Amino acid sequence: MLAVQLVDIEKRYHDRDVLQSICLHVEAGEYMVLLGESGCGKTTMLRTIAGLESADGGRVEFGGVDVSRIAARKRDVSMLFQRDALYPHMTLRQTMAFPMKGLVSDSETQQRIERAAKLLGLDAMLDRHPEHFSGGELRRGGLAKMVVRQASIRLLDEPLSALDGPVRHQFQQDLQRWHREIPGTTIHVTHDGDEAMRMADRVAVMHQGQIVQVGTPEEIFHHPCCLSVAKSIGSPPINVLGGELRQGELRVHASDDPIELNPAVGPRHDGHVFVAIRPEGFGIVASSGANDAIASTTSAIRFSGVCRSSLVYGGQCHASFETQNEILDATLPADCGVQRGDPVTIAAMLADVHLFDGEGKRIEVAR
Ligand SMILES: Nc1ncnc2c1ncn2[C@@H]1O[C@H](COP(=O)(O)OP(=O)(O)OP(=O)(O)O)[C@@H](O)[C@H]1O
């Protein structure tokens, strides 16, 4: 297995900076997910690692060796493309064998094909043409083609896109099993924050051609370094409200009362702020109030409003509340009893609130 190191990678298309000073270290054997909005440069980065694009600056290292000038076919890399296709005139076995010609013996190729097909549940499909495959089987066939290569570094470009429901879930499990059973360094590209959270050892979040944060899914979820990262992960998405910070006092738009922050948040941050609260960060303030943990503390931000929808599934109540022209999503205990039309006060403890300055950079608050 090989580590992948990107050092100050720059890429321009027609004078437009598509990748800017990209530095990333992917450990040998790690499953790294590159997460970012459409057009932020994810595919360009994968293609640069594969050697299908050459960078305008910086270098790519595999296992500490600079491979920037090594041709794609000579790099120890395989790539699953976004719209990878099986050859229509070949059986799956022939398609899998095709890129292996001259690399290993025919018997070794057949052994690898059998193993990959078994791993991905495609044994029965090996001698069929792709016209007989379902959408999920086509995707697994594309992966099988890649598995046979047994490259040290595996690049997956939006592998789960265009798959829905159980087929998507099944393919996600196939990918996890493959990464476990045939070890290698895997880099998986997606724009789907949930997918990143479920699959990654670590996530690298990209925004407009730059890597803005790298961390475990937990770090990214609980400690986003900026507003764009906070918004990129979580379902339902994080609630974002405007606010004002003055001399340590925080006023949040649509909330009931201002709250005092720790004095450590000084005038340096005075001005407009963004206040972000995950749906899981809210609790209900009981109407009796006094005995409720959230109601009894001063470091909670409260919002009084009306429940606009509530639905219990997956062991939780997914509700939305309207308060002073803002809609807030909250994920509450299944037995909270909140019904559509109920007047309710919800609150978030300061520990569950993320603050960002006017440019979207995180403001640390002592909690
Ligand atoms: N060969 C090319 N020539 C010119 N511009 C390109 C080329 N390839 C990509 N781009 C541009 O570079 C930017 C980044 O593209 P890229 O495909 O890397 O983004 P992405 O994050 O993978 O997007 P998506 O999630 O939509 O696939 C886009 O604005 C795209 O239009």
44 C-beta closer than 6 A to ligand 1? yes
Structural tokens at position 186: 């895997």
305 C-beta closer than 6 A to ligand 1? no
Dist. CA 178–CA 120, nearest whole Å: 8
Dist. CA 320–CA 349, nearest whole Å: 18
Which DSSP letter does residue 321 get? Answer: E
Q: 15 vs 19, 20, 56, 275, 305, CA distance in Å?
A: 12, 12, 11, 36, 50
User: What are the beta bridge partners of residue 57?
Assistant: 10
Residue pointed to by tokens 């976004």:
82
Report the pLDDT value the prediction gives residue 260, as an integer from 0 to 100: 81
CB 92 within 8 A of CB 118: no
234 C-beta closer than 6 A to ligand 1? no
In the chain, residues under CATH classification 2.40.50.140 are 239-363
- Which atom of ligand 1 lies at the shortest distance from residue 46's CA? 18
Give all strands of the β-sheet with 65-66 in edge-to-edge order.
16-26, 4-13, 57-62, 65-66
Quote the ligand 1 centre to 335 CA distance (angstroms): 47
CB atoms within 10 A of CB 327: 13
pLDDT digits (tens, 9 = 90+) for 5-28: 999 999 999 989 999 999 999 999
At 260, which helix (H) or strand (E)? strand 259-260
pLDDT digits (tens, 9 = 90+) for 182-231: 889 999 999 999 999 999 999 999 999 999 999 999 999 999 999 999 99
In the chain, residues under CATH classification 3.40.50.300 are 4-232
Quote the ligand 1 centre to 45 CA distance (angstroms): 10
Structural tokens at position 57: 């600056």
190 C-beta closer than 6 A to ligand 1? no
Domain 239-363 sits in CATH at 2.40.50.140
Report the pLDDT value the prediction gives residue 264, as an integer from 0 to 100: 59
Structural tokens at position 199: 């699959």
Domain 4-232 has CATH 3.10.450.50: no
Dist. CA 217–CA 198, nearest whole Å: 8
User: What are the beta bridge partners of residue 243?
Assistant: 252, 273
User: Is the Cα torsion angle 346, 351, 356, 360 positive or negative in sign?
Assistant: negative
First to last CA, the chain: 42
- Which atom of ligand 1 lies at the shortest distance from residue 191's CA? 25
User: What are the beta bridge partners of residue 149?
Assistant: none
Residue pointed to by tokens 């606010």:
243
- Which atom of ligand 1 lies at the shortest distance from residue 209's CA? 14
Q: Are strands 202-207 and 31-36 parallel, antiparallel or unpaired?
A: parallel
Interface confidence (ipTM) of the complex: 0.96
**pTM given for the model:** 0.89
pLDDT digits (tens, 9 = 90+) for 83-135: 777 899 999 999 999 988 888 999 999 999 999 999 888 999 999 999 988 88
In sequence order, what DSSP letters do the residues of 211-223 get, joined into one string? Answer: EEEEE-HHHHHHS
User: Is the Cα torsion angle 225, 226, 227, 228 positive or negative in sign?
Assistant: negative
CB atoms within 10 A of CB 207: 18
* More confident call, 103 vs 58: 58
Report the pLDDT value the prediction gives residue 313, as an integer from 0 to 100: 92
CB 145 within 8 A of CB 154: no
Residue closest by Cα to atom 8 of ligand 1:
44
**Side chain identity, residue 211:** I
Question: How high is the mean pLDDT of the chain?
Answer: 90
Quote the ligand 1 centre to 41 CA distance (angstroms): 6
